[in-house]
């Protein structure tokens, strides 16, 4: 999908952070974006900014991705309004951290409801339409945490790893249908999600626009997987070569991060997004 002019791109988690930046990046390419998240007011603000910058039409469709009926309505309303759907970016996410010894079923449920089911069930809703068009693209925004687990992110890591490996199967099963799949693995990104955390220079937070550009490139070049920033690939190679070495890197560089001054977040059980 080299030319995105006029394509319909549906993005979840578009009210801020990576999703909002991705919506702007697609609109700059000439795409018409459908903005979804729970907060209508924030979505309207993103839509307004896009209209002012690009003059492009946008559609605001609030939805909670942890609710199956919302996902159904989201795809149906997009098709009703614009008649087709070309790209689905499953980006909405929550950061559920919990040390293993304090983890409960509720932590897993919260992490999976948004990060796994919110992405996978959205894809299942959109898939029949993409297949009947014989063309389309699906982007799953997971995390470097799905390549190497970082303590105490257990519930989040589990959900992101589930989504990324499910996406691996999805891409293979869709081969030859005209529908492509890209899985995007960002390192630390400077958004609300990790505002409570300070991180070492080696995993410095990148601007969300950098991830947005990587997502657009992935769609245009039909990339199977994208790790961003590229330096994170070195870390992943260390993990493939020796998980014990990668464990040591996590400890040496304090990749788990530490609380940012002025934040009193209890990292034991809270979501990063608030």
Ligand X SMILES: NC(=O)c1ccc[n+]([C@@H]2O[C@H](COP(=O)([O-])OP(=O)(O)OC[C@H]3O[C@@H](n4cnc5c(N)ncnc54)[C@H](OP(=O)(O)O)[C@@H]3O)[C@@H](O)[C@H]2O)c1
Instruction: Catalogue the active-site residues.
Output: 156
Q: For the segment 91-150, give every residue that binds ligand X (CB under 6 A).
A: 91-94, 114, 141, 143
Q: 19 vs 180, which CB is nearer to ligand X?
A: 19
Which DSSP symbol is given to 57?
-
Kindly compute the dihedral angle of the four CA atoms of residues 77, 79, 81, 84, in this order, to the nearest 10 degrees: 150
Nearest distance from C-beta of residue 174 to ligand X, angstroms: 21
Q: Does 24 bind ligand X (CB under 6 A)?
A: no
The residue whose two tokens read 């919506």 is: 23
Which DSSP symbol is given to 189?
B
Q: Give the interface segment with ligand X, choosing from 26-34, 190-198, 214-222, 244-252 (CB under 6 A).
A: 190-198
**Number of other residues whose CB lies within 10 A of the CB of residue 134:** 9
In contact, 130 and 85? CB cutoff 8 Å: yes
Candidates 4, 23, 193, 214; binder of ligand X (CB under 6 A) is 193
Nearest distance from C-beta of residue 178 to ligand X, angstroms: 26
Euclidean distance between CA atoms 194 and 11, whole angstroms: 20
Nearest distance from C-beta of residue 16 to ligand X, angstroms: 5
**How many residues interact with ligand X (rule CB under 6 A)?**
31
Question: Between vectors from CA 155 to CA 151 and to CA 161, what angle results, nearest 5°?
Answer: 90
Binding site for ligand X (CB under 6 A): 12-19, 37-39, 42, 64-66, 91-94, 114, 141, 143, 186, 188-189, 191-194, 208, 273
């Amino acid at each position: 999908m080299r030319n995105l002019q006029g394509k319909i791109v549906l993005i979840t988690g578009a009210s801020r952070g990576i999703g909002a930046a991705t919506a702007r990046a697609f609109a700059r390419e000439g795409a018409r974006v459908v903005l979804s998240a729970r907060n209508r007011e924030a979505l309207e603000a993103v839509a307004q900014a896009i209209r002012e910058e690009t003059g492009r039409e946008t559609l605001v469709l609030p939805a909670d991705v942890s609710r199956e009926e919302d996902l159904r309505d989201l795809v149906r309303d997009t098709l009703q309004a614009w008649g087709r759907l070309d790209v689905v970016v499953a980006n909405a996410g929550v950061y559920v951290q919990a040390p293993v010894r304090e983890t409960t079923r509720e932590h897993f449920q919260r992490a999976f409801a948004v990060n796994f089911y919110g992405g996978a069930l959205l894809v299942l809703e959109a898939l029949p339409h993409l297949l009947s068009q014989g063309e389309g693209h699906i982007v799953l925004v997971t995390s470097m945490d799905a390549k190497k687990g970082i303590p105490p992110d257990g519930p989040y890591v589990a959900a992101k790893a589930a989504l990324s490996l499910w996406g691996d199967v999805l891409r293979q099963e869709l081969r030859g249908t005209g529908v492509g799949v890209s899985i995007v693995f960002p390192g630390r990104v400077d958004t609300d999600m990790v505002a409570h955390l300070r991180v070492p220079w080696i995993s410095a937070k990148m601007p969300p626009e950098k991830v947005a550009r990587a997502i657009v490139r992935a769609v245009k070049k039909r990339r199977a997987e994208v790790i961003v920033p590229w330096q994170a690939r070195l870390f992943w190679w260390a993990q493939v070569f020796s998980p014990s070495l990668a464990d040591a890197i996590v400890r040496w560089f304090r990749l788990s991060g530490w609380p940012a001054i002025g934040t009193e977040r209890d990292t034991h059980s809270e979501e990063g997004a608030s």
